[in-house]
Structure 1
């Protein structure tokens, strides 16, 4: 029988590709397993307060914020203060099928809004043309999450709008939120603040709503150059960094403005306890930190943390884990909830690629794009794409 080298080579190649793919998926699954976050004690503020548990009150109400039982605060005359444009980032134009329905929800409930999609290369072009002082920092980032963090701060400052991670689902129109305040940045879920960070609050960066040119975002961009010495991405460009910036901004700007006013009005009594009084109606340069129930009330697998009794080192942690374990893994959206974070952890796929050789990286990119990826315009046909 005649030897057929091409067919043999093809079978060998296919076998190798399938084997590599299965190994890669297995590695990604192991990488995505829960690991206990480090405790960040470098944010300069006091520990989370401790209250007595009375009458079966939920841990959230005791420690962090009241229960929100009304719709999101509505002030102003209905004119949008935040542009009706969504921003999302991803390292390529292709996304896993896991994300399709989640991303489609943005336009499902906000069909008249614009949608901007930024790849790493598209973000780099914007930085090179308008923020050249940050280009070296961007190019030197080793972790893809850092690039995504910088892009999201820049596009919000440049264009304004609503930034959402690609694993955040929208439940209803966002117009009400955009007509009330000029900048809205929720905290992380209260479970994260107490269990993982041991802080009164941590400002999130997975969903942010802000007008263009807001001075808080300018401060963030001015100071991100000097945050590269943190241990982890969360410290350098993520929520811990953003919390530091918020604390500085509130103390330096917002409160000093209030001293010059003879009369001002707080928004409501629904905000997290630790940030009450930091925002006042009519301050277009203020940053409103809302009750987490409206935007960010689903924690990232806290039951895994709470199942380890060694983690319950304080009364506040014990109170929260009491509620977490009672509720289990079930999740019920709040009546007036705008969004939910599903915590898909897509960054695991890329974060660990820095430890792979060039062939592995190239194969991962090929597999992500063409084997199980969907182009963003198949998901959002009207997407305005910023790529190479």
Structure 2
């Protein structure tokens, strides 16, 4: 009788053990299946496109890490979420190629809240800046200072990924040409940076200082070159030189800092005081200052032809068509940069 009860207990214990083991195996396999499915979905997403994220998602991702590199986030900005047709198509070339990157299109309203909450010391200047392009210029420096990453104007088309050039870099700028006397040769239309680099602070304080000195009439009137001088490439250039001279303890020009002029080729890369400069053909390709290919490379021309333009200037990583969407009377032209203009 005792042996029979003992046998029953042993059998019951064995069945319970086997049943528990089966349940554990089932749970493990199910969890693994869920995780693999999630990873496969993530892999599919990351292998086909960048990931569009909200500002809250951007903040959560950004603050979850300590940054010793250029963050993989692409910033672009427009007055709202509705891009013109060609802007949307050019934007897509970046998203399709920069898989594994995050992307956010900033609107005017989002920019205002971003500056107000993250940079209250700059906000009063920001609100006064006029026309709108001055605010659009300024906020890109603030993206770089706060988040870092890659800022790109909406008239750039990606040819192939450039992030291989970002390894161990601090700030990466792209040149139009080597005519540095013009102060427009280092555009602010394509810039990359680690967060909190001091270069951007030099530029922002320059904007604040110059804007505080102009008269009310000058602030409200339009003159050719106003945007370039106050917040655009000339502002970037002067802030850059002030930073380089302070860092290098020198008064040398950018030409001199680059060294021998024979090294200044269209695909050259220069390093000065942790600032990387990419030669004209690497990122910009089309140089509006020298006029080569202007009839087919300028998005403002009725003869604009992207394919012919690329045949002429042969871009390596990217190309800009200098559409001047915020200037030259195009702001309120809903048909500008529409697909019907493509040849």
TM-score (norm 2): 0.60
Q: Which runs of 5+ in 1 are unaligned?
A: 1-78, 257-265, 308-328, 354-363, 374-388
Q: Which residue of 2 aligns with 1:332?
A: 311
Deviation at 1:297, TM superposition (A): 2.0
- Give the number of the structure with larger relative contact order, counting CA–CA contacts within 8 Å between residues 6 or more apart: 1
Contact preservation (8 Å) 1:254, 1:278: no
Please list every run of at least 4 consecutive aligned residues from structure 1 whose deviation after the TM superposition is greater than 2 angstroms: 187-190, 198-202, 227-231, 266-273, 276-280, 300-307, 329-336
Q: Which residue of 2 aligns with 1:237?
A: 231
Q: Which residue of 1 aligns with 2:162?
A: 174
Distance change in 2, residues 1:347/1:336 (3 Å): closer
Contact preservation (8 Å) 1:254, 1:279: no
Q: Deviations over 1:276-302 (max 9, x none)?
A: 99835xx6xx21122112111212284
Does 2:149 match 1:156?
no
Distance change in 2, residues 1:157/1:272 (3 Å): farther
Does 2:323 match 1:344?
yes
Contact preservation (8 Å) 2:281, 2:314: no
What aligned pairs does 1:174-323 form with structure 2 within 5 A after superposition?
174-190=162-178, 193=179, 199=182, 202-228=185-211, 229=214, 232-255=226-249, 272=264, 279-280=271-272, 286-300=274-288, 302-303=290-291
Q: Which runs of 5+ in 2 are unaligned?
A: 1-66, 251-257, 296-307
What aligned pairs does 1:54-93 form with structure 2 within 5 A after superposition?
81-93=69-81
* Alpha-carbon distance between aligned partners in 2 of 1:290 and 1:154, rounded to the nearest angstrom: 22
* Alpha-carbon distance between aligned partners in 2 of 1:336 and 1:218, rounded to the nearest angstrom: 31
* Alpha-carbon distance between aligned partners in 1 of 2:98 and 2:330, rounded to the nearest angstrom: 35
Contact preservation (8 Å) 1:220, 1:245: yes
Greater share of residues in helix:
2
Q: How many matched pairs?
A: 239
TM-score (norm 1): 0.54
* Alpha-carbon distance between aligned partners in 1 of 2:191 and 2:107, rounded to the nearest angstrom: 18
* Alpha-carbon distance between aligned partners in 2 of 1:333 and 1:294, rounded to the nearest angstrom: 14
* Alpha-carbon distance between aligned partners in 2 of 1:168 and 1:184, rounded to the nearest angstrom: 16
Q: Which residue of 1 aligns with 2:115?
A: 127
Distance change in 2, residues 1:120/1:297 (3 Å): same
Distance change in 2, residues 1:306/1:344 (3 Å): closer
* Alpha-carbon distance between aligned partners in 1 of 2:230 and 2:77, rounded to the nearest angstrom: 19
Distance change in 2, residues 1:333/1:185 (3 Å): farther
Deviation at 1:305, TM superposition (A): 11
How large is the RMSD of aligned CA atoms in angstroms? 3.6
Distance change in 2, residues 1:291/1:352 (3 Å): closer
* Alpha-carbon distance between aligned partners in 1 of 2:194 and 2:99, rounded to the nearest angstrom: 20
**Structure (1 or 2) with the larger CA radius of gyration:** 2
Deviation at 1:331, TM superposition (A): 3.8
